[in-house]
Each structure stands twice: as C-alpha cells, then as structure tokens.
Chain A
Amino acid sequence: MSKTDTTSSFNQFQGTQGYIASTPLMDAVNCAIALERPLLIKGEPGTGKTLLANHVAESLGMPMESWHIKSTSKACDGLYVYDTLQRLNDARFGDGDVQDIRSYIKPGPLGRVFAAENRHVLLIDEIDKADLEFPNDILREIDEMRFTVLETGDEVIAKQRPVVIITSNNEKELPDAFLRRCVFHFIDFPDRELMKEIVDVHHPHLDTKLLDQVLIKFYWLREQGELRKKPSTSELIDWIAALLRSGISTEQLEEHIPFLGALLKNEQDTVGVSSYQERGGRMPAAWSDLGAKYNQ
C-alpha cells in the first residue's frame, strides 16, 4: 500500500481538521475530481452530506457556491432568472433601463460558477426535493459546462470546470441518464471507530470511559427497530454537548439516558424510551450488551 503517491494530481482530498472522511468517501471524491464528473452523495440524514462540500472546498482551497433545491426549484433558476415582473413594473412606471434586457437577467448559482474566474466547488443540495424531471434538465449544462441565455442569445461557458457535489436524501428516484454521468457514493452510517474520531473532532479530550458509555447508549438506541426516527451523528454531537454542560458522571450515564430530547425528535419515540426506563427496563452498560456487530 504505497502512500508516497505524489506524481499524480489524484488524491487531493484527505478530509480536513473538522471533517473525518472514510477511505471509500475520499476515494469517491478524488475520483470525481480526477474524472471531472459530478459526485452524487446519498446517505441517512445527519451523516454529513452537505458538510462534505464545505470541507472539500476548504481542503482544495476553492471558493464554494451552494444551490439549495426546494420543491419549487426549476433547472432554469440555477442558470439565470429573467425578472419579467420587475421589467413590466419598470416599464409601467418608467423606472430603470427597460431597454437593456441584461439588467433583468440575474445569474443563478450555476451561472455564477460558470462566469467566475477561478475554479469553484458547486454544491447542489438535496436534488431529490425538486420535481422528477429536474435532474435531467440540468444534465446538459453540467455535462458541457455551457448554456445559452434565451432572452439575449448570450452563451455562458464555464471558464474553469467546477467540482460539482450533489446530495440526495433519497426521497425520489433519480433518472438513469442522470445517474450514469455521476460518480456515486453512499455514506454508510459511521461504525464505532470512525464515530470516535468524529466525536473527537467536535469534543476533543473526552474521557474515554464516558465516550464509551455515550456510544453504547447511542448505538443501542439506533438498534431499536420501533423508533420512528433514529438518532444521527449530528444529534449525538449535540447530546454530548448537553451532557458535558450538565457535568454528568459516567456512572450516572450507565443507568439511564438523560436529555433524551436531544437524541429523539419524535414524541412517540421519547415517550416509548422513557416509559421503558421507568418500567426498569435494562439499559446496556457495556459493548457486550449490544449485538455481535459491535463486538468483533
């Protein structure tokens, strides 16, 4: 396993101080950069999909532009918006330069990245929120890195090919033609070891015994099939912050789960787990109380 690979431009992204990336994720990011393909990231909510783009930008030293997709987003919004109503209004009241159509054309995130002088990281966040046809509509622009403003006939060509990172929450299926052009990575839920590294980034120098207890409770909760919403990494980080503030001891944590509200966001889940605690249900206190998956 040679690690002295300095000749190729590959292997640029190594994770940053604030973001721990697993080997497969790093490979996928670097593959997308080298092949100049968009990178499609899927994964459970709270596994750091959106954060990834920030940290790729940071680690590559590029500026970042984000385009947050909503259910009403149209592909054209990303390129440019032609403000018809403003122009109509100006024409009616004699404001502004109505003759110059260009002053009513506002570039969208994609348009800005194309027009920029330096290479950008472009984040297209939660692409699955938009209409089914949306991904197909931006295919050509992302493939060829150019588009034409219909109203003026101007062609916008990317000066520097941006690094495109697309996240999806899996709410809708994406069209095949779109998938074919992407490099794909699914962020698996972090295992015990990776999670320790991640926690260490946010809460350095945590007592190892306390950390163990915290993670045992956390993974135990995630194993409960009845939960409507499993706690995720970001909730774990918040929960630890709450625990640290309250100065709770490792022993106290062994018997019950305080600040349940920081981990569970559904009322029925919270009620279910607290009534289990009140009934004197057994709480796991060691890794051996969890399944074989955690005891290899």
Chain B
Amino acid sequence: MFLDLFYGLRDEGVPVAIQEWNMLMDGLQKGLHRSNLLHFYYLSRACLIKSESYYDKFDRVFARVFKGVEGELDITDEVLEWLDDPKNFPELTEEQRAALEHLSRDELYQRFLETLAEQTERHDGGDKWVGTGGRSPYGHGGEHPTGIRVGGPAKSRSAMKVAEDRQFQNYRTDETLDLRQVKMALKKLRRLTRSGPLEELDIDGTVDETCRNGGEIDFVYRAERRNNIRLLLLMDVGGTMDPYFKPVSRLLTALHEEHALRDFKAYYFHNCVYDNLYTDASLIRRYAVPTADVMHKLDERWKVVLVGDAAMHPGELMHEFGNINPRRESQTTGAQWLARINDHFQRCIWINPDPKKYWESTHTTRAISQLFPMYHLSVDGISEAMSALIGARPSAPGPTH
C-alpha cells in the first residue's frame, strides 16, 4: 500500500526519489506518524513533497491509495483497532463504556453492514440508520460514542477529509496563472552582464594590483551586474483574447516596473500580424506603427514573445488581403509577416492561452506552431518558454553567438 503511494505520485509526475522515500521510512521507524493516519498524512507530505504546487496531486493520490483505510464502506484493521481502543471515546461515561463492552468490534462491524444493507435511502437524525447527526453508531456528525464514521466531515479532521478537501488546488502550476508565480517564472529572463559605472569593489583585482604595486594598496572597481535582456511583446487582442488581456499586460508591466529588463516594448495586433502593429490595445489608426519599422529599429538580440490563441480563419493567415478588417488589407500574407519576424529575431516564442489539446486540431494553430515553439499560458508553460528564450536555440541552423 505504501509503495502504491510512491508509484502513484511518480505516475502523476511528482518528482519523488528513493532519497525522499528513505526519509519517510526513517520517520516511520521513529514512530513519527504516531500510528495515526492524519499524522501519517502530514509526515509523508513533509517528507515526499517539496513544493506546494504538488500538494494537490499528493492529496489526490493519497485519497486514492488510502481510500478504505477509514471512512467509506471498507473497514480495515486500522479502523477495527481504533474501535478497540477505549481512549478513542473520551466523551463516554463509565456506564456507557461498560454497556458497550459486550458489543465486540466484529459484532459492531457486522451490525454496521447489516444496517447498511437494510437501509435504502439517505438518512439524517434518528438512532438506527446510517446517516448524519443521529445517535446510531454509524454515520457521521453523530453522538453515538463508538460510531463508525461513514464519509463526510468528522468532529476532528481526518486525513481522508484533509486529502479530499483538495484545498491546495490553487497552488497547481500546470493549470493556473498566479501573478506571483508567473513573476517568478519571468525571472528566468535574466542574463547578467557587467555594464554601467564602476562602483563595486573588486577584491580579487585589488589584491592582485596591490601585490603588483609592491604592497601599496590600489583599489580596483568594476561595474555592477545588470540584466541585459531586451524583450518585445506582440500580443493578440480582441475577440477570444479579451479575457487574457488584463492578466498578461499587468504581468508584463509589473515586470518592466521592477527594472528587471534592460528594455521592453509591447505592441498589439488582432488575430495575426500584418503591415501594422499598434502601440495601444484599442488598435485605432492613430496608434499604428509599420511592422517593418519595428523590425528595423530593434536588432536581432531582442527576444520576442507573441501571445495569442493562433486560432483564426486559414485565409487570415495564408491569403493576400487576408486581414479580418477589410480596411486594413495588405498584400503580404500574415504567414509571411510571421516568417519575417522569425527570421529577423534570434529568439521568438509563441504563448497560447488555449489548452494544448486544441492546438493540433486547429489548422492555423498547427501551422504557427511549426514556425514558433509554442507554450501554454500557465505558470509551467511560461517557465518553459522563458528557459527556451534564454537557453541555446534547440533546432534550426540560425546564427549563433
């Protein structure tokens, strides 16, 4: 059963290795679980799981593996043991306890099964049926001293309840887009180089120079390390992209405010890039900037992030005069513009808010993902995307530096 937990976690993609497992075994040997499933739950979580983003997966696996250890209809040794231990019933008076003595645990269990078989409907209150709030020994929330709890919340929290609650769902990183976590993923966009004024004391240099100077102290200063990344954001706005506009732009401005990047520019487009980009998300003519100018001004070292669902009518991507807005038609197709951007800049990636499973089935999405490496708009996806922007270019023979 314990191994089921281990392999269950691994199957879910939670990184657990032998080392963590041994730690848990050590803990069990020392009795840290105090023969109690709830403490075992906390102990195994503390030993096996090293990030809150996996808490939810742990809860799910734990609930699956240990279902039946308590609650539900399957009674295991552990629960029977629990029934045996009089310490578990502190509310019981001496009389009641004595009255219960003759009711062995097997009898109790047997009667539980019989009662359950007799019963055909949901039941609350009363003193016989399995249900809630009653005085029968079975069910939950009741007052019968030896009650067998059947699902639902107990008076004190049980491990199963805690696991079933799945209160850590919001900490998952493969589905959610938490501001703080994304900021962290964006921090990967960092390439520190020494530039700017010489203000930092270089100790090694000072020692070297002083020795060379025959013991006369000679201070050597050097420039501080600064981030040398320039980022160009091209974002699809309008239509299906509307719900994503606010979170994404807030994130990127936040990133820029922190001066984490050396330079940052954002332009907007609708569905696909054509002759013009826009400096404002309203996309009115006043804010139009020729795409060619943008490419001309920014050199190939700029990292380009395109954000969009890449789903459009194939004509918008492939045909001349394909722009969905007829007044802004252009002879160059969207696909050509995208290819030009990809050629001009060394690193371009596409971030898609649609779930991955739809990418293959949409014609234009498939075409665009052949052009740009595509990532999902989630904490994990952004994190991968940023590594791709920073790291060595995986394929494509393009220029290296």
- Which A residues are within 8 Å of any B CB, using their own CB? 1-2, 4-5, 8, 10-11, 23-24, 27-28, 30-32, 34-35, 37, 40, 42, 84-85, 88-89, 91-92, 170-173, 176, 179-186, 188
Chain A residue at minimal CB-CB distance from B26: A35
Q: List 24 A-B residue pairs with CB atoms under 8 Å apart, sorted by A's residue number.
A: A1-B36, A2-B34, A2-B36, A2-B87, A4-B87, A10-B31, A11-B34, A23-B38, A24-B45, A27-B43, A28-B42, A31-B27, A35-B30, A35-B47, A40-B50, A84-B203, A88-B210, A92-B216, A170-B181, A180-B17, A180-B20, A184-B49, A186-B168, A188-B168
Give the residues from 36 to 62 in chain B that come closer than 8 angstroms, CB to CB, to chain A.
Answer: 36, 38-39, 42-43, 45-47, 49-52, 55
User: Given contacts A85-B203, A170-B184, A186-B55, is CB(A27)–CB(B46) below 8 Å?
Assistant: yes
- Judge whether A171 and B184 touch: CB under 8 Å: yes
Is A180 a contact partner of B50 (Cβ separation < 8 A)? yes
Q: How far is the CA of A88 from the CA of B180 in the complex (A)?
A: 46
The CA-CA distance from A180 to B206 in the complex, in Å, is: 39
A24, B42: Cβ atoms closer than 8 Å:
yes
Which residues does chain A contribute within 8 Å of B215, judged by CB atoms? 88, 91-92
Is there an interface contact between B184 and A84, defined as CB atoms closer than 8 Å? no
Interface pair A5/B180, CB less than 8 Å apart: no
Do residues A23 and B42 form an inter-chain contact, with CB atoms below 8 A?
Answer: yes
Contacts of A92 in B (CB 8 A): 215-217
Complex Cα gap A196–B378 (Å): 35
Closest 9 CB pairs of A and B: A186-B52, A179-B50, A27-B42, A28-B46, A24-B42, A184-B50, A180-B19, A183-B46, A34-B30
Cβ of B111 under 8 Å from chain A: no
| A186: B residues at CB distance < 8 A | 51-52, 55, 168, 171
Chain B residue with Cβ nearest A187: B52
Residue count of chain B within 8 Å CB distance of chain A: 43
Complex interface: chain B residues within 8 A of A40 (CB)? 50
B79 located at the interface, meaning its Cβ lies under 8 Å from any Cβ of chain A in the complex = no
Contact of B39 among A27, A35, A170, A179 (CB under 8 A): A27
User: Across the interface, which residues of A come within 8 angstroms of B156, CB to CB?
Assistant: 1
- Starting from the known contacts A40-B50, A91-B215, 6 additional A-B residue pairs (CB-CB under 8 Å) come to A1-B36, A27-B39, A31-B27, A34-B30, A84-B203, A88-B210
> Are A34 and B47 in contact, CB atoms less than 8 angstroms apart?
no
- Please encode chain B, from 185 to 206, with 1 for each CB lying within 8 Å of some chain A CB and 0 for all others: 0010000000000000001001
Residues in chain B near residue A42, CB distance under 8 A: 51-52
Asked if B23 is at the interface (CB within 8 A of a chain A CB), the reply is yes
Q: Which B residues lie within 8 Å of A23 (CB)? A: 38, 42
Of all chain B residues, the one with the shortest Cβ separation from A39 is B46
Listed in ascending order, the chain B residues whose CB lies under 8 Å from chain A are 15, 17, 19-20, 23, 26-27, 30-32, 34-36, 38-39, 42-43, 45-47, 49-52, 55, 85, 87-88, 156, 167-168, 171, 180-181, 184, 187, 203, 206-207, 210, 215-217
In the bound assembly, the distance between CA atoms of A28 and B24 in angstroms comes to 12
Task: Give chain A nearest CB distance to B102 CB in angstroms.
Answer: 24
Q: B140 CB to closest chain A CB, in angstroms?
A: 14
Whether A2 and B35, one on each chain, are in contact in the complex, defined by CB atoms closer than 8 angstroms, is: yes
Instruction: Point out the residues of chain B lying under 8 angstroms from A8, CB to CB.
Output: 30-31
Q: Which residues of B contact A37 (CB under 8 A)?
A: 23
Q: Which residues of chain A are within 8 angstroms of B27 by Cβ–Cβ distance?
A: 31, 34-35
Which of B17, B50, B203 is packed against the most chain A CB atoms within 10 Å? B50
- Asked whether, in the complex, the Cβ of A184 is within 8 Å of the Cβ of B34, the reply is no
| Residue pair A31, B32 in contact (C-beta under 8 Å) | yes
Q: Are B47 and A183 in contact (CB under 8 A)?
A: yes
A42 to chain B, nearest CB (A): 6
Q: A93's closest neighbor in chain B, by CB?
A: B217
Q: A88–B206 Cα gap in the complex (Å)?
A: 10
Q: Report the minimum CB–CB distance from A39 to chain B (whole Å).
A: 8
Partner of B23, one of A89, A183, A185: A183
Distance in angstroms from A224 CB to nearest chain B CB is 13
**Distance of A1 Cα from B155 Cα, bound (Å):** 13
Enumerate chain A residues within 8 angstroms of B168, measured Cβ to Cβ.
186, 188
Residue of A nearest to B87 (CB): A2
Supposing A1-B88, A172-B184 touch, asked if A88 and B32 sit within 8 A by C-beta, the answer is no
Q: Which of B31, B32, B171, B216 has the most CB of A within 10 A?
A: B32
Taking CB atoms, residues of chain B closer than 8 Å to A181 are: 19
Q: Are B46 and A31 in contact (CB under 8 A)?
A: yes
Instruction: Determine how close the nearest CB of chain B comes to the CB of A15; give it in whole angstroms.
Output: 15
The CA of A32 and the CA of B47, in the complex, are separated in Å by: 9
A88–B46 CB distance below 8 A: no
Chain B nearest CB from A93 CB (Å) reads: 10
Q: Are A185 and B217 in contact (CB under 8 A)?
A: no
Cβ–Cβ contact B50 & A30, under 8 A: no
| Residues in B neighbouring A188, C-beta threshold 8 A | 167-168
